[in-house]
Amino acid sequence: MSEHYYELVVKLSSHHALFSEFLSDTLPIGFEESDDGFIIRSEEDIETIQWGLEQFREALQKALGVAIEMDCKLSKLENSDWVQNYKDSIKPLAIEQFYIHPTWDEDQEGYLNITIDPALAFGTGHHPTTASVLKAIARYVHQGDTVLDVGCGSGILSIAAMQLGAIVDGCDTDAVSVSNAQENAKLNNLTFHALWEGSCSHLSQQYDVVVANIVADVLIFLAKDLKQALKPDGVLVLSGILDKYENKVIKMYSDCEIVEKITQDEWVSLILKKR
C-alpha cells in the first residue's frame, strides 16, 4: 500500500445527477457522493479526472445553455487517514425492513440484514434509485416469488428479494458486476438461482417481479424484453429515471398500468403492471 493517496473534492451548484452518471460511466475507481458534489480517492494521481470533469462541465453548459459552478480541490494525504476516514464515511442505513451495512459494522436485530461493502459495482443503498427500489421490493416481493434483477450491479436488490424468500435470477452486461453480485450473495449466505453476464433478451421464463434499475435510455431500449419477461399478473419495477425523462419512459410502457410512483430528489421509480 502506498504511503499517500490523492483526494479530489468536487462541489457543484447544480446537475449533480448528470455528473454522477458521467463518473459512473468513465471512472475506473469508485467515488463517494456528498450533499453538494463528490469525493474521489485514489493512490494514483487523479489530476486527469479533474481535467475530465472540467471538460464535461464545459460541454454540459453549452448543451444546456446554463452556467454550472464547480469547485475542485485536489489534496495529497496520508493513506492511514484514508482507510479510517473512508470507513467512517460509509454509514449503515435502514430502508423499510432492510438494514444495509458494510462488513465492519454489526447486524441490527429486528431487520433483514444485508451486508455489502462499497465496490466498483453500483449499489449500496445510499443512492436514491437503489433506495426507492428497495422500498418497492419490500412492498411487492413475497415468499416464493420468482424475481429477475436486470442490471444487478452489486446484487443488493437481488439479495433483498432473496431475504424475503424469493427465487432470484440476475444479469448484468458488466463482468465485474456479475462477479461482485455473486460474492455479495455468498457474503450474505444466499445463492442466485441463476446469474449471467448479458441481457434479458430471449428468455423463455417469465417472472412474478422484474426489476431494472438502470438509466432511462436503456429502459426504453429494453422495454419489449422486460415486458416479455413478466408474467401476465406480474409487477415491473423500473428505476434510474431522471424526472425529466419520465414521460419518455412511460410512453414506451403505455400498455402497462402505473401502480405506484416513488420519487426522491430528481429520480423517479415506476411500479407497473400489464393492463
Q: Where are the domains of the chain?
A: 4-88, 91-274
Residue 159's pLDDT is what? 97
Residue 80's pLDDT is what? 63
Residue 121's pLDDT is what? 42
Q: Based on C-alpha coordinates, what's the Rg of the chain?
A: 19
Three-class SS state of 81:
helix
| Residue 30 predicted with pLDDT over 90 | no
Q: What integer is the mean pLDDT of 96-102?
A: 93
Query: Do residues 257 and 236 make contact, with C-beta atoms less than 8 angstroms apart?
Result: no
154-170 pLDDT tens trace: 899 999 999 999 999 99
Q: What integer is the mean pLDDT of 94-103?
A: 93
**4-88 against 91-274: fold identical:** no
pTM confidence score? 0.72
Q: What is the mean pLDDT of the chain?
A: 89
% of the chain at pLDDT higher than 90 = 62
Determine the Cα–Cα distance for residues 236 and 231; give it in Å rounded to an integer.
10
Please indicate whether residue 201 or residue 145 has the higher confidence score (pLDDT): 145
Three-class SS state of 96:
coil
Least-confidence region, from 11-25, 115-129, 229-243: 115-129
Residue 15's pLDDT is what? 87
Q: What integer is the mean pLDDT of 225-241?
A: 96
Return the CATH superfamily for domain 91-274: Vaccinia Virus protein VP39 (3.40.50.150)
What amino acid occupies position 32? E
Q: What integer is the mean pLDDT of 189-218?
A: 94
Question: What is the secondary structure of 37-51 as a DSSP string?
Answer: EEEEEESS--HHHHH
Q: What integer is the mean pLDDT of 3-26?
A: 86
Question: 4-88 has which CATH code?
Answer: 3.30.70
Residue with cell 445527477: 17
